[in-house]
Structure 1
Amino acid sequence: MEPAANVLDLNQLRRSCSSCALYELCLPAGIGVDDLDRLDATVKDKRALDRGDMLYREGDPFEALYVVRSGALKTFVQNEAGDVQILGFHLPGEILGFDALATNLHVSQAEALERSSICELPYAKLQQVTSEVPALHRQLMRVISREVVEEHRHLVMMGRQQAQEQLASFLRSLADRYQRLHRDGSALNLPMSRYDIANYLGLVVETVSRLFSRMEEMGVLQVNRKSVRILRPELLAALCRSDAAPRRKDAG
């Protein structure tokens, strides 16, 4: 017998994809109740990560894909000398683990930037469900495609000469992702450090700090440590174009 509609089952709320706040982001529109039940049966218990905890490491066997339910993570690679290159930052509703699809081994690492909650989707079970639910399979392909597009954008960003343009594009991309989460895209809470941002953009941390200060002076942003408010989104958009970015000798 199903519980009454007005009774809040906290355990079900924690476990059910249909009750999750990320429902619209992770799942295709119009997925039926029976299909949701199949997906719910696939999801393992939610995993909690503290800041600095590793979700997976390079060389770990591929067992699951992971959906960020709350918090944020970064993915990165590290060479034998210990040098790190950050590949991306992952917000609620975004999926990690695609790096292991080709070889069945993770070729990058994922670390929590703050206390986070993760939905674990064992891949073998997920394959079975997606084979039975074509809409879910199409959604998964769209998510993978979106990851590829983001990687291309990052490569283009890394190749740009104007550091100010790189940072402006990064902040605008975060704002767009916030809006997709139905959050205020003008009020960003950056879970990553200035060093992480600099590493991701291929800059030095002093340049990133200077650029934040410059954008504050221009009236584009209001910055308070990790809280960034976008005051003039139209000017931020203009700074994302190299022909509109101010040309200064210290821009790099």
Structure 2
Amino acid sequence: MPPADDEDAVKFCSTCAFSSACLSQGFDKSQLSELHVLVMHVGPFAPGEHIFREGDPFNAIAAVRAGTVKTYVVDSHGREQVQGFFLPGEVIGLNAIHAARYPANAIALDTVTLCRFSFPQMSLLATRLPGLQQHLFRLLSHDIGKASLLAGDFTADERMAAFLIALSRRYAARGYSGSHFNLTMARTDIANYLRLASETVSRVLRRFQDEGLLCIERREVQLLDRMRLEQMARVVLRD
């Protein structure tokens, strides 16, 4: 796999999951180059293709460059448990650092390309670039926070509102529309992630639409009454 070429240097800075660290710390050109040469552009992965599987050796983290990635595990009864969805600019593989093996499966939901970073090389670089090290810690903390997001005893409405608002914020943080976006994941995956029945997810979305909170057509969603959705989501998102 070839390293990222010079033509992509500007795109690297604008779309990379580590861009906020670079910008806030004011890394100079040589420091950016050191980080840039660690990047391997991987893909495309076709919808349904695995990026890694549970138990695979860990030696790299990857930022989603395009597309959506789902992570999941399969329990002892053969049932799939969705752990999360990763959008462009977000990092997969952080939870593999401790055990040095991926603790879940990652699969492409649509056409996915990745920016892959060798973790041993990035760790070495982070010892010389404190801003990068701090950003890695923030990414780890955020990943842990997402995992515990839905652990409480919340209603179906609260769970769905929190899912939509969190997704909206994540899109907006990457420069996409936070009010008009696609649900690239299937309803069954959303239900699995929220620990709800598929019929419940469909019913809640239908009621949200009837009440004028959103407009949904197939996978295209437009948030119409963000204030009410945020009020419902607040108990889950804790903000």
Question: % of aligned pairs identical?
Answer: 31
Partners of 2:41 and 2:212 lie apart in 1 by 45
Instruction: Tell me: CA distance 1:111–1:180, structure 2 relative to 1, closer, same or farther (3 Å).
Output: same
Report the AA paired with residue 122 of structure 1.
Answer: S
User: Normalising by the residue count of structure 2, what TM-score does the alignment of the two structures yield?
Assistant: 0.90
Report the AA paired with residue 205 of structure 2.
Answer: F
Partners of 2:35 and 2:234 lie apart in 1 by 42
Q: Partner of 2:146: helix, strand, or coil?
A: helix
Partners of 1:18 and 1:116 lie apart in 2 by 16
Partner residue, 2:198 = 205
Partner residue, 1:247 = none
Partner residue, 1:214 = 207
Give the CA deviation at 1:90. 0.4
Q: Is 2:139 the partner of 1:143?
A: yes
Q: Partner of 1:117: helix, strand, or coil?
A: strand
Partner residue, 2:67 = 71
Cα-to-partner distance string for 1:99-158 (whole Å, 9 max, x where unaligned): 2111111111111111011011111111111112111111111111111121222323xx
Work out whether residues 51 and 114 of structure 1, in 8 Å CA contact, stay in contact via their aligned partners in 2.
yes
Q: Partner of 2:31: helix, strand, or coil?
A: helix
Partner residue, 1:6 = none
Partner residue, 1:119 = 115
Partners of 2:82 and 2:217 lie apart in 1 by 24
Report the AA paired with residue 65 of structure 1.
Answer: I
Instruction: Tell me: CA distance 1:134–1:18, structure 2 relative to 1, closer, same or farther (3 Å).
Output: farther
Q: How does 1:191-202 map to 2 (within 5 A)?
A: 191-202=184-195
Higher gyration radius (CA): 1
Partners of 1:213 and 1:18 lie apart in 2 by 39
Partner residue, 2:100 = 104
Partner residue, 1:93 = 89
Partner residue, 1:12 = 6
Work out whether residues 191 and 226 of structure 1, in 8 Å CA contact, stay in contact via their aligned partners in 2.
yes
Give the CA deviation at 1:27. 4.1
Report the AA paired with residue 142 of structure 2.
Answer: R
Give the CA deviation at 1:17. 6.6
Partners of 1:36 and 1:61 lie apart in 2 by 28
Q: Partner of 2:151: helix, strand, or coil?
A: helix
Partner residue, 2:220 = 227
- Structure 1 residue runs without a partner (length 5+): 1-9, 243-252
Give the CA deviation at 1:12. 2.1
Partner residue, 2:130 = 134
Report the AA paired with residue 200 of structure 1.
Answer: Y
Q: Partner of 1:154: helix, strand, or coil?
A: coil
Work out whether residues 13 and 19 of structure 2, in 8 Å CA contact, stay in contact via their aligned partners in 1.
no
Q: Partner of 1:104: helix, strand, or coil?
A: coil
Partner residue, 2:175 = 182
Give the CA deviation at 1:239. 2.5
Partners of 1:25 and 1:120 lie apart in 2 by 12
- Structure 2 residue runs without a partner (length 5+): none
Instruction: Tell me: CA distance 1:87–1:17, structure 2 relative to 1, closer, same or farther (3 Å).
Output: farther
Partners of 2:200 and 2:58 lie apart in 1 by 37
Partners of 1:236 and 1:32 lie apart in 2 by 42
Work out whether residues 70 and 107 of structure 2, in 8 Å CA contact, stay in contact via their aligned partners in 1.
yes
Q: Is 2:236 the partner of 1:240?
A: no
Partners of 1:207 and 1:59 lie apart in 2 by 33
Work out whether residues 17 and 23 of structure 1, in 8 Å CA contact, stay in contact via their aligned partners in 2.
no
